Amino acid sequence: MTDFKFDLLATDGQARLGRVHTAHGVIDTPAFMPVGTAGTVKAMLPGSVAATGAQIVLGNTYHLMLRPGADRVERLGGLHQFMNWPGPILTDSGGFQVMSLAKLRKMDADGVTFQSHHDGSKHRLTPENSMEIQRQLDADITMAFDECTPFPATPQQAAESMRLSMRWAARSKAAFTPRPGYGLFGIVQGGIYPDLRAESAKALLEIGFDGYAIGGLAVGEGQEAMFATLDVTTPLLPEDKPRYLMGVGRPSDIIGAVMRGVDMFDCVMPTRSGRTAQAFTKRGTVNLRNARHQDDPRPLEEGCACPACRDHSRAYLHHLIRSEEILGPMLLTWHNIQAYQDLTRSLRAAIAEGRVEAFAARAAELEAQGDIAAL
């Protein structure tokens, strides 16, 4: 069995080309992880997700512990077998969604008690049982249990929240059962305050993790503040461990973060947008519901290998959306995941060839030219 490890293969400025080795396969970085909330990347077959080039998917502890239940997933062979995704899986700790979805949550120094948003049943998450649930799900990458600091937060609120998360990080590490090929990531918090980010990074390095996530961003602070926070945070993280920016983001966010030394990303945006007729293209997002597509025989995006672009016209995609046919969200979700995988694949090639600056400049230029329908 392979050890969980990260190989740094090349750098271009701060940007990194790497490879994460896990029990269920490798992840080439920079990597985008499609979100498979409830044991499925919505509207996609697992084989279709893999066909886009995605090597790892994300599962949500909060959703899976409530339905179908972590015990059941474990009895049925773990999440890889249950959802038929043989590749690596990362699970979040459950903390973020308890805060955003659960009813009647009550936080204390030890953990969070909450009611399910499905049926009101009572549950509890602590660092210890979050580790146990993620083990039952068989996640290759387990996330430490933390509190995602809300935005905006005063320096004092951000400090108290971050220090609680650091105590929970130590408990997560103590409760995590090391196994070959399986890793535990700590999460840097501290809001938009550089001194708090530094304190958090130092605390996590003392505990020691297999990778380091940057949490509490993309919560409304804006791209400039996010990049400024990354500028002061990634230099504090070890070079020989993967770095994961949680919940990010738009293509320009990903490009900017890669150029600031981030390796891994996840975001619901490509999948959620695919279900609401929004398509990501190199020239920005386009709404296929708009009537200007109804007579357009061209593919959504020239050169894209996904079935939506390879086999169909913008006019047909528009028709599917207007008719509320289920194939519409399926095709647009596939296209959007393909677009994100093509982006990270292009970034990897650019880093390998030492031209990531030029790649980023060209991507910004294309996006500034405006959406595809205007061409």
Q: Which residues lie near Zn ion (CB under 5 A)?
A: 304, 306, 308-309, 335
Report CA torsion sign: 355, 356, 360, 363: positive
C-beta of 245 vs 304, nearer to Zn ion:
304
For 85, 137, 214, the CA distances from 134, given in Å and listed in that order, are: 16, 5, 19
Residue 216 is assigned to a ligand binding site:
yes
The answer to whether the CB of 224 falls within 8 A of the CB of 215 is no
Task: Tell the smallest beta-carbon distance from residue 368 to Zn ion (Å).
Answer: 21
Nearest residue (CB) to Zn ion, 126 versus 281: 281
Nearer to Zn ion, 126 or 336 (CB): 336
Cβ 343 to Zn ion shortest distance, Å:
12
Q: Which of 92, 140, 210, 263 is catalytic?
A: 92
Amino acid at 203: A
- Please identify, using beta-carbon distances, which residue of 225 and 305 lies nearer to Zn ion: 305
* Burial tier of 40 (Cβ tally within 10 Å: 0-12, 13-18, 19+): middle
Give min distance, CB of 295 to Zn ion, in A: 20
Distance in angstroms (rounded) separating the CA atoms of residues 359 and 82: 39
| DSSP per-residue letters across 198-263 | HHHHHHHHHH--SEEEE-S-SSSS-HHHHHHHHHHHGGGS-TTS-EEETT---HHHHHHHHTTT--
Does the annotation mark 266 as catalytic?
yes
For tokens 């387990």, the residue is 142
Q: How far is the CB of 336 from Zn ion (least distance, A)?
A: 8
Annotated catalytic residue within 140, 253, 266, 342: 266
- Consult the annotation and say whether 18 binds a ligand: no
Dmax (CA) for the chain in angstroms is 60
Residue 281, strand partner residues: 284
Q: Is 306 annotated as a binding residue?
A: yes
**Secondary-structure percent of the chain, ordered helix, strand, coil, rounded to 5:** 45, 20, 40
Distance CA 278, CA 283 (A): 13
> Is 94 annotated for ligand binding?
yes
What pairing do the DSSP bridges indicate for beta strands 264-266 and 31-33? Answer: parallel
Residue 17, SS3 per DSSP: strand
* Amino acid making up residue 168: W
Return the number of the residue (91 or 333) whose C-beta is nearest Zn ion. 333
Q: Any known ligand binding at 335?
A: yes
Residue 31, beta-bridge partner list: 264
Closest CB to Zn ion among residues 259, 331: 331
Is 148 known as a binding-site position?
no
The reply to whether 92 belongs to the active site is yes
7 beta partners: 19
Tell the smallest beta-carbon distance from residue 124 to Zn ion (Å): 43
Q: Taking Cα atoms as reference points, which of 258, 182, 239, 235 lies closest to residue 9?
A: 239
Q: Nearest approach, Cβ of 363 to Zn ion (angstroms)?
A: 17
Does the annotation place 120 within a ligand binding site?
A: no
Closer residue to Zn ion, CB minimum distance, 255 or 308: 308
Tell me if 309 is assigned to a ligand binding site: yes
- Least gap, CB of 314 to Zn ion (angstroms): 11
* Residues making up the binding site for Zn(2+): 304, 306, 309, 335
* Residues making up the binding site for substrate: 92-96, 146, 189, 216
Catalytic residues: 92, 266
* Residues making up the binding site: 92-96, 146, 189, 216, 304, 306, 309, 335
